Structure 1
Amino acid sequence: MAKQANLKTAKRAGRRTPVGRWKLEDAKARFSEVVRHAREDGPQRVTVRGHDAVVVMSVEEFERLVPEKPRAPFVEFMESLHLGGLNLERELDRGRDVEL
């Protein structure tokens, strides 16, 4: 139903872009509407000079497509770097002599 309303709005505005596809200048001017349609109707394509450039999608859709990788605990991460041969010793530094 929302897609039909979007199509009617597009026709009234004189645009001939398909539903879910926005010219860059229209997407910039009506960004909140692009975001609303992305959340309600699905991914929205933005075109530059007639070619698809980017897709605006809901975070739920993004997370479904690109699941978050589990993070290793910090100690495991540091151990995985294999820094056992790295010399971390510091020279004793007592500062410098200054005349007052």
Structure 2
Amino acid sequence: MRWQMQEAKQRFSEVLRAAEAGEPQIVTKHGTEVAVVIDIAEYRRLRGEQVGLMEYLRVDPLGDVDLDAEIDRRREQPRDIDLAG
């Protein structure tokens, strides 16, 4: 989402909620991008700081992975295993 600086100031709570939800918020001044508001866990990850597991998972680390991608799987049946023996 893009915000003009004046609007971002007026609706700062909304800007923060969206950033916390993992949606970077870009702030512009006279049409030029001047800042981005991101979740603190994402900021720490980008800086290379260690992040706790729960913070890491909140950032959605698989957000750029296409979960609908076709996966090639073997079509043959699994081998028989004698468990009695």
Q: Deviations over 1:24-61 (max 9, x none)?
A: 01000000100000111421000000010000011011
Give TM-score scaled by structure 2 length. Answer: 0.55
RMSD (Å) for aligned C-alpha atoms: 1.4
Q: Distance in 1 between matches of 2:36 and 2:24?
A: 6
Tell me which stretches of 4 or more aligned residues in structure 1 moved more than 6 Å.
none
Using the aligned pairs only, state the percent identity. Answer: 44
Which structure is larger by alpha-carbon Rg, 1 or 2?
Answer: 1
Q: Distance in 2 between matches of 1:46 and 1:53?
A: 6
* Secondary structure in 1 matching 2:7: helix
Structure with greater contact order relative to length (CA < 8 Å, sep ≥ 6): 2
Unaligned 5+ residue runs, structure 2?
51-85
Q: Alignment length, in residue pairs? A: 50
Q: Deviations over 1:11-32 (max 9, x none)?
A: xxxxxxxxx1100010000001
Which residue of structure 1 lines up, in the alignment, with residue 15 of structure 2? 34
Give TM-score scaled by structure 1 length. Answer: 0.47
Which residue of structure 2 lines up, in the alignment, with residue 96 of structure 1? none
Higher helix share: 1
